[in-house]
Amino acid sequence: MDQEEGRRQIRLGLFVLHAGYHLAGWRHPQARSGGEDFGLMRETALIAERGLFDLFFLPDTPTSSRGASPSAAARLEPLTLLSALAAVTADIGLVATASTTYNEPFNLARQIASLDHLSNGRAAWNIVTTLSAEVAASFGRAGHLPHAQRYARAAEFIDVAKGLWDSWDDDAFVRDKASGVYFDKAKLHYLDHEGPHFSVRGPLSLARPPQGHPLLVLAGASDDGQALAAQAADIVFSAQNDLAEAQAFYRGIKLRAAQTGRDGGRVLVFPGVLPIIGATEAEARAKFDELQSLVDMEHALPLLSFFLGHDVSGLPLDEPLPDLGPSDAMKSRTALLAGLARTENLTVRELARIVAAGRGHLVVVGSPVQVADTLERWFLEGAADGFNVMVPYLPGGLEDFVEGVVPILQARGLYKTAYAPGTLRDRLGLPRPQSRYATPLSSLERVPVSCDR
Ligand SMILES: Cc1cc2nc3c(=O)[nH]c(=O)nc-3n(C[C@H](O)[C@H](O)[C@H](O)COP(=O)(O)O)c2cc1C
């Protein structure tokens, strides 16, 4: 059990934005980078497994610029990279970000199910609707779908993917040499889905995944995003930098999940956190200052524009951020950053520098004890079930966390000391979804059972 002795424990994901999360992390003297460097990714995954991380989480957008973060401009495709990592890791969950706006359900369901088989039940899909409008031009689309339509398509996409994963009953493949029966035809199901966005007959050309349905992660935080997450996600990944707001978000997700008939306890909320760790607070502060000194406005301003959904490049840098109005891109993050600028009366330059560090996520600068204290507080005070840890640069920023913070959390009984056996769902304490074609237990009970033993 990951919840040792029945006690609720912190879960951890490692959010791997290549070369590190801090915009200038790749420039740190100890940083290593290279979007195609499998060696670095393998080393990172193995360090994360040493720290008993639950998830190795790859964000993605099918475009090069991704808000002009230079070290993420070129990178390996997530499902391909994770399939290679599946072969060199044993326990960590493998989370691939993939878009419902720029994929077809059949292909993607097949790829994610393949990863689940390859990894013995460690695959997860971070469902995104893609916010960069520029992606449309690479897919022959006249334009990017508006926010509400992206979410309507996402909801149908998820339903189709789940249906395809249920194409074969768990015990459909008997492979009986004596009788010559490879699979039981009665245990094969055609989806025959006809909907506003997709028409999918099925079945999927793959046995039901070890987890039944690979783990589903959702990162949208707007109203539509939360509604879909409450309905479909196993983990909700969010950006929060204020404890009270994070608590409200956490309560809201659990409540919405309960309103859709789900057990709110089984929808886990993971805010992102960027720890900058030094042996002492002063050392950590010096490290943070060093990273911030490497930030240049040439990259920080496009990143800010990306997250605000408005071009801020023409605004005076040292005046307060004006009210830019809502955006159709990342509604939740736009609101979070605009709110921060308003309450703290931040200039455009100041906000750009904040975004360069944590992009709106919680940033904790301190000693390992101080970082552990913050995580403990958010966890115990109803703001998080786990965290997506974003390290400023690789692999040193991760080593600081694994060597410094993990042992403290373990000593406090807040974190596991070994991986539990089983699939990713088992480790996270989440149930294996039943197939939509399974006979409900209640009707099974009514069937007279004959047994010749
Ligand atoms: C914490 C977080 C991480 C995200 N990561 C990605 C990503 O890697 N790729 C992507 O295309 N969208 C990503 N998104 C965007 C969402 O999938 C979604 O498209 C966007 O947030 C707009 O939805 P919202 O307005 O509901 O937040 C992320 C969103 C959040 C909140």
Pick the more confident residue, 145 or 189.
189
**Mean pLDDT for the stretch of residues 290-313:** 93
Q: What is the pLDDT of residue 450?
A: 42
Q: What is the pLDDT of residue 341?
A: 92
The one-character DSSP state at 89 is -
Q: Give the alpha-carbon dihedral of 175, 168, 60, 394, to 10 degrees.
A: -40
Ligand 1: distance of its center to the CA of 332 in Å?
A: 9
* Nearest residue by C-alpha to atom 21 in ligand 1: 220
Residue 181 domain-assigned (yes or no): yes
Please check whether residue 58 is in contact with residue 95, taking contact to mean a CB–CB distance below 8 angstroms.
yes
Residue 345 domain-assigned (yes or no): no
Beta-sheet strands, E only, within 335-435? 362-366, 386-390
Pocket residue to mutate for ligand 1, from 60, 101, 128, most atoms within 8 A of Cβ: 128
Ligand 1: distance of its center to the CA of 79 in Å?
A: 18
Instruction: Give the span between the Cα atoms of 417 and 410, in whole angstroms.
Output: 6
**Is 89 near ligand 1, meaning CB less than 6 Å away?**
no
Q: What is the pLDDT of residue 309?
A: 86
Instruction: Give the span between the Cα atoms of 374 and 277, in whole angstroms.
Output: 13
Pick the more confident residue, 223 or 423.
423
In this predicted structure, the answer to whether residue 358 has a pLDDT above a threshold of 60 is: yes
* Angle in degrees, CA 187, 193, 198, rounded to 5: 140
Confidence at 222, pLDDT banded by 50, 70, 90: confident
Which has the minimum average pLDDT: 64-68, 98-102, 103-107, 114-118?
A: 64-68
Q: What is the pLDDT of residue 444?
A: 54
Q: What percent of the chain has pLDDT over 90?
A: 80
Ligand 1: distance of its center to the CA of 129 in Å?
A: 7
Ligand 1: distance of its center to the CA of 220 in Å?
A: 5
**Is 51 near ligand 1, meaning CB less than 6 Å away?**
no
Q: Read off the tokens for 292.
A: 């911030």
Ligand 1: distance of its center to the CA of 148 in Å?
A: 14
Q: What is the pLDDT of residue 448?
A: 45
**Mean pLDDT for the stretch of residues 132-139:** 87
In this predicted structure, the answer to whether residue 68 has a pLDDT above a threshold of 70 is: no
Q: What is the pLDDT of residue 220?
A: 75
**Mean pLDDT for the stretch of residues 164-190:** 98
Q: What is the pLDDT of residue 449?
A: 43
Q: What percent of the chain has pLDDT over 70?
A: 94
In this predicted structure, the answer to whether residue 443 has a pLDDT above a threshold of 70 is: no
In this predicted structure, the answer to whether residue 453 has a pLDDT above a threshold of 60 is: no
Atom number, ligand 1, closest to the C-alpha of residue 130? 11
Residue 201 domain-assigned (yes or no): yes
Ligand 1: distance of its center to the CA of 447 in Å?
A: 47
In this predicted structure, the answer to whether residue 445 has a pLDDT above a threshold of 70 is: no
For 125, the 3-state DSSP assignment is strand
Ligand 1: distance of its center to the CA of 401 in Å?
A: 25
Pick the more confident residue, 220 or 114.
114
In this predicted structure, the answer to whether residue 452 has a pLDDT above a threshold of 50 is: no
Where does residue 343 rank: exposed (0-12), middle (13-18), buried (19+ CB within 10 A)?
exposed
* Angle in degrees, CA 86, 214, 53, rounded to 5: 55
Atom number, ligand 1, closest to the C-alpha of residue 60? 8
* Nearest residue by C-alpha to atom 2 in ligand 1: 219
Q: What is the pLDDT of residue 109?
A: 98
Strand 123-128 relative to strand 93-99: parallel, antiparallel, unpaired?
parallel
Residue 271 domain-assigned (yes or no): yes
The residues facing 94 across adjacent strands are 56, 123
Atom number, ligand 1, closest to the C-alpha of residue 59? 8
Residue 453 domain-assigned (yes or no): no
**Number of domain units in the chain:** 1
CA 19 to chain centre: 17
Q: Read off the tokens for 114.
A: 């393949």
Confidence at 188, pLDDT banded by 50, 70, 90: very high
Instruction: Give the span between the Cα atoms of 426 and 159, in whole angstroms.
Output: 22
Which has the minimum average pLDDT: 82-96, 245-259, 305-319, 424-438?
A: 305-319
Confidence at 3, pLDDT banded by 50, 70, 90: low
Instruction: Give the span between the Cα atoms of 5 and 8, in whole angstroms.
Output: 9
Atom number, ligand 1, closest to the C-alpha of residue 237? 1
Residue 135 domain-assigned (yes or no): yes
**Is 220 near ligand 1, meaning CB less than 6 Å away?**
yes
Ligand 1: distance of its center to the CA of 442 in Å?
A: 40
Pocket residue to mutate for ligand 1, from 158, 237, 330, 390, most atoms within 8 A of Cβ: 330
Ligand 1: distance of its center to the CA of 308 in Å?
A: 13
Q: Which domain holds residue 377?
A: 9-295+356-446
* Nearest residue by C-alpha to atom 1 in ligand 1: 238
**Is 366 near ligand 1, meaning CB less than 6 Å away?**
no
In this predicted structure, the answer to whether residue 447 has a pLDDT above a threshold of 60 is: no
**Is 237 near ligand 1, meaning CB less than 6 Å away?**
yes
**Mean pLDDT for the stretch of residues 93-115:** 98
**Mean pLDDT for the stretch of residues 137-154:** 92
> How does the average pLDDT of the chain come out, rounded?
92
* Nearest residue by C-alpha to atom 4 in ligand 1: 219
**Is 305 near ligand 1, meaning CB less than 6 Å away?**
no
Q: Read off the tokens for 100.
A: 């419902």
* Nearest residue by C-alpha to atom 30 in ligand 1: 219
Q: What is the pLDDT of residues 71-94, one digit of tens each?
A: 888 889 999 999 999 999 999 999
- At a CB cut-off of 8 Å and minimum separation 6, what does 242 contact? none
Residue 409 domain-assigned (yes or no): yes
Query: The CATH number of the domain where 198 resides is what?
Result: 3.20.20.30
Instruction: Give the span between the Cα atoms of 325 and 338, in whole angstroms.
Output: 9
Ligand 1: distance of its center to the CA of 219 in Å?
A: 5
Ligand 1: distance of its center to the CA of 330 in Å?
A: 7
Residue written as tokens 């691939």?
Answer: 96
Amino acid at the residue 386: G
Which has the minimum average pLDDT: 207-211, 332-336, 446-450?
A: 446-450
Which has the minimum average pLDDT: 13-27, 307-321, 373-387, 434-448?
A: 434-448
Residue 279 domain-assigned (yes or no): yes
**Mean pLDDT for the stretch of residues 396-402:** 98
The one-character DSSP state at 420 is P
Residue written as tokens 């999927």?
Answer: 204
What DSSP assignment string belongs to 222-233?
SHHHHHHHHHH-
Confidence at 253, pLDDT banded by 50, 70, 90: very high
